[in-house]
Structure 1
Amino acid sequence: MADQVWEPISNLFPPHPAVDPNVGAKTNLSFIPRVQLAEASKADFGVRPMVAQHNLHESDMFSDAALIDLLDRFPRKNLYALTMGTDPTRAEENRLALNEGVSGADLLRAVKKGRFWLNITRVDRADGGYRQLIDELYAQLAAQIPGFAPDFSQGSLIISSPHALVYYHADAPASVLWHIRGRKRVWVYPALDERYMTREVLEDIHAGVRHEYLSYEKSYDDGAIVYELEPGQWTAWAQNAPHRVTNLDSVNVSLSTEHFTAQSRWRARVYTANRFLRVRFGLRNLSAREQGAGAIAKTVIHRLAAKVGLDPAQVKRHIPTLRVDADAPGGVVPLGEPCVASKVGN
């Protein structure tokens, strides 16, 4: 396998929206990413949890120097710093920290000494190299997985502290986690199983009216599949499967990508329509069946209602209570407090 010549095949997909010209696409893709997927795993993709290999950890795109450069260029309105506690059942301890005015070097220094993660959202819109990278990753997936035909993809780069955790949650889109630096443990729970997440909660997630965090009990772990990811591995699971993550003993870097297909978009429409009918008309326990005349009728009703303003968009957001300070012991200070360097200077 090492002697095989890999050529880009991302021209299988139509072009994505242009990189934001106000940011400046500095990075050019200087290596050919490689996605390795065993024959036996191809049928598992998007259906059940699985792990396979990639070579992103061999690229200098993810070195400290490259990450600092990216952080310095990235629009801070789309960069989120989130702290957490140590108990995976207490998602309310997840807190947003402002990062405006903090240099890329200090952000990375704070991650290394603190307990939080940086979510560099839609990194592909800010850097052309990441857009090329994601296109190539999905082109190689599509070439290896029969019937897989995403029509859109996007990605966020996640830089996180040693022992940081991501609380139990479910994402609306289908996704892939490409692990690049450090080691992390991932728990994946059964998808569309009301023992782990109710249908109404999933409706709210698809409608965008609540955070993805879910109520979690440690007994859920009895039904989880657990992986310890090393650099050079990627993992995927069924759309909407609940999952949680804990870093092990080092800084972690991962690329989280989301992809959209006709099937995944249709699921989102059905669940969003069910929520509208539940909230607006009190219709509960509607079928989540994604095929048939009933599903079509519900989505048409919801689309028409949204057009006339009967279902206004609602987005749940974190409210910042902290500020990143690389000189503070945990890398953050409460809002309103002077930074540690200022205290020392006085």
Structure 2
Amino acid sequence: MTRVFDDETTARFAEHYPETPHRLNHHLRAHDLLTLEAIADLSEALPAGSVEYNPGDLPVGIDAADVPDNGLSIGETIRTIDVCRSWAVLKNIEQMPDYAALLMQLLNELRPAIETKTGRMLRPQGFIFVSSPHSMTPYHFDPEHNILLQLRGSKTMTQFPAGDARFAPPTAHEAYHSGHQRNLVWRDDFQASGTAIDLAPGQAVFVPVMAPHFVRNGPEPSISLSITWRSDWSFAEADAHGFNRLLRSAGFEPKAPGRFPASNKPKAYAYRALRKAGLTG
């Protein structure tokens, strides 16, 4: 397969990574592994814990526990995505060798720019999103460095500044890193502070670690591929939030972890030592 990211795109990525959201271009609009039928077959081959799907007509803000079932199987959901008014994600597609090879080809094209800034590319993962027209992915954040590539249809991702407590308070980060859900509490007055990035086939968007966002699908069915990776910095940021949770539970008001390139290693190392000793709760 020819290169997915051209020189101009990799240069733009290198300029903005890892903290600034930006649009990218890609050449992955047609691939045998990414047709609707291939994705439906993949959904039925993956373990049950690696698929998630639900009705797509959801509000921007909703607790994960309140999301209803759509009454279909995952394969039926994907094969009827034009009309079933649903949203589906296939997680960790790298469990399948062909998809692992595709994921690594894409990431290897960006590896020099990534590792120059944030060091070793760790835990590469891939996710495929299939969405009915006008469906909504509610307001949430994710712990990985992430590029979302639009393959079919259109969508708009609205992002909010990572690390800004107005949009995701420290307690939300601390709860997430202790095993709670990633959906966040939405307030309508957030909307004016968001950056809306429109995506058409052949376009992509970079999402910084833990940048709150929601996604609204366009008028046609959508297929998107998310390629993600972690870094030593992202793991340290997560563990620092874990340590802050312990401090907060002891009555302190800890300072939030710093954003890149700030080092969060002291708190991270302390939390890892406590975790190893079985004292993190």
TM exceeding 0.5? yes
1:300–1:212 distance in 2 versus 1, CA, 3 Å? same
Match of 1:50 in 2: 22
Q: Which amino acid aligns with 1:70?
A: L
Q: Does structure 1 residue 129 correspond to structure 2 residue 101? A: no
Match of 1:275 in 2: 245
Q: Which amino acid aligns with 2:277?
A: V
1:202–1:287 distance in 2 versus 1, CA, 3 Å? closer
User: What runs of 5+ residues in structure 2 fail to find an aligned partner?
Assistant: none
Identify which of 111, 121, 128 aligns with 1:157: 128
CA distance in 2, matches of 1:141, 1:82: 33
Paired residues of 2:17 and 2:117 also in contact (CA < 8 A): no
1:83–1:114 distance in 2 versus 1, CA, 3 Å? same
Match of 1:231 in 2: 201
1:84–1:117 distance in 2 versus 1, CA, 3 Å? closer
Q: Does structure 1 residue 87 correspond to structure 2 residue 59? A: yes
Match of 2:153 in 1: 182
CA distance in 2, matches of 1:211, 1:139: 31
Structure 1 position 169, deviation (Å): 0.9
Q: More deviation in 67-76 or 265-274?
A: 67-76
Structure 1 position 98, deviation (Å): 7.1
Structure 1 position 114, deviation (Å): 1.9
Match of 1:20 in 2: none
TM-score (norm 1): 0.72
Q: Which amino acid aligns with 2:136?
A: L
Paired residues of 1:172 and 1:205 also in contact (CA < 8 A): no
Q: More deviation in 59-68 or 83-92?
A: 83-92
Q: Which amino acid aligns with 2:178?
A: A
Identify which of 160, 181, 185 aligns with 1:211: 181
- Per-residue CA deviation, residues 146-205 of structure 1 (Å, 9 max, x unaligned), is 435413311111111111101111112221111111100110111111111111211222
Which protein shows a greater Rg? 1
* SS of the residue 2:23 aligns to: strand
Q: What is the number of residues matched between the two proteins?
A: 274
CA distance in 2, matches of 1:68, 1:272: 37
Q: More deviation in 250-259 or 83-92?
A: 83-92
Paired residues of 1:142 and 1:148 also in contact (CA < 8 A): no
Report sequence identity in percent. Answer: 23
Match of 1:337 in 2: none
TM-score (norm 2): 0.87
CA distance in 1, matches of 2:22, 2:5: 14
Structure 1 position 296, deviation (Å): 4.3
Q: More deviation in 170-179 or 245-254?
A: 170-179
